[in-house]
Structure 1
């Protein structure tokens, strides 16, 4: 049997098809009970996906177990808060680490590997990398299935809002959340 120790690495352009399949599998299975099937279909089709800019920036990661990618997620130094390439509608600007939070982006775990610490492993790595780039705060837009994880990792709710999908016919609630780089500790300037 192959080694099942999780290995975190930078996601590569050649991983995109595998990551897309993982994202869809994760979203469809782990959103049940939080969203309706119509909401799941809309958010999976119109929002969830790989952001190729994160891959190009080297700030999107894959976790492998036994040679298979079982989780992914990253952080952004650009203004886009959520969504894959298909969800982008405006140019991205670089964030100012001194005044703006880094964006935690697109965390997905294979349903068979859920609740094994992979999301926490990704978050620890992303927080460390964002801190190394000068960011003191983190921000994310959480889908409802992710809220319990992010709360457990020290994120606080800021604002709930709806994504209007399906040409405005499907409303999907999400939650803007923030935290200081270290749990509960925000650098004061």
Structure 2
């Protein structure tokens, strides 16, 4: 468990899935409209959501303030770049730490706890864990709200992965990368 001021972090368990889903829904409903139009917010669930494999792998963290779930996120040693259990194009095979990056995955902050260092806590823990397993780089499929934080933490834009959905709506997904020191 990591403690920073009144915030503390622990590894998520499968019993936490309902609380994670609730936090994700609240975050998407209240924070995405600051960056996306209503159609993009509606379509965001196609590329966002719970990936229970992260929880099973022990690479997904929860940040609390007291009893309140303030944020969640983690990393993966697998090849899937972003998305939940039902996102198309998943590749759950292990990445080779010597040749491939680990992935930052499913970062969400509850709207009542933004700008409190939660994202940085989750990134720091994820990067340290990936580094300990021999990874020398991290990548992510970032949504629009995450870009300012990730850039401030040393990630750079590599590729725009945004694609139109069946109705033509484009939800931005940006592949970002950081070399680990």
- TM-score class, shorter-chain normalisation, is over 0.9
| Residue 77 of structure 2: aligned partner | 77
Structure 2: which 5+ residue stretches go unaligned? none
How much is the aligned-residue C-alpha RMSD, in angstroms? 1.4
**TM-score, with structure 1 as normaliser:** 0.89
The answer for the alignment partner of 1:177 in structure 2 is 176
In the alignment, what sits opposite 1:185? none
The residue that corresponds to 1:52 in the other structure is 52
**Structure 2 residue aligned with 1:162:** 162
Q: Distance in 2 between matches of 1:96 and 1:25?
A: 35
Instruction: Give the structure 1 partner of residue 28 of structure 2.
Output: 27
CA contact (8 A) 2:137 2:178 kept: yes
Partner residue of 1:147?
147
Report how far residue 33 of structure 1 moved. 2.8
Please state if 1:134 is matched with 2:134: yes
Q: Report the Cα offset of residue 170 of structure 1.
A: 1.6
d(CA) in 2 for partners of 1:164 and 1:123? 29
1:46-89 CA-partner distances (Å, limit 9, x unpaired): 22211010000000010111112110001000011001112144
Which stretch of the first structure deviates more once superposed, 32-41 or 144-153? 32-41
CA deviation map 1:143-188 (0-9, x unaligned): 11100000000001111131433x3432112211101113xxxxxx
Deviation string, structure 1 residues 97-141 (Cα, Å, up to 9, x no partner): 001000000100000100100000000000000001110100011
Contact 1:24 1:48 in 2 (8 A): no
For structure 1, which runs of at least 5 residues remain unmatched after alignment?
183-189
Corresponding position of 2:18 = 17
- How many residue pairs match? The answer is 177
Q: Which residue of 2 aligns with 1:186?
A: none
Q: Which contiguous aligned blocks of 4+ residues in structure 1 show a shift greater than 3 angstroms?
A: 88-91
Q: Indicate conservation of the 8 Å contact 2:78/2:91, yes or no.
A: no
The alignment status of 1:113 with 2:106, answered yes or no, reads no
C-alpha distance in 1 between matches for 2:29 and 2:180: 31
Normalising to structure 2: TM-score of the pair?
A: 0.93
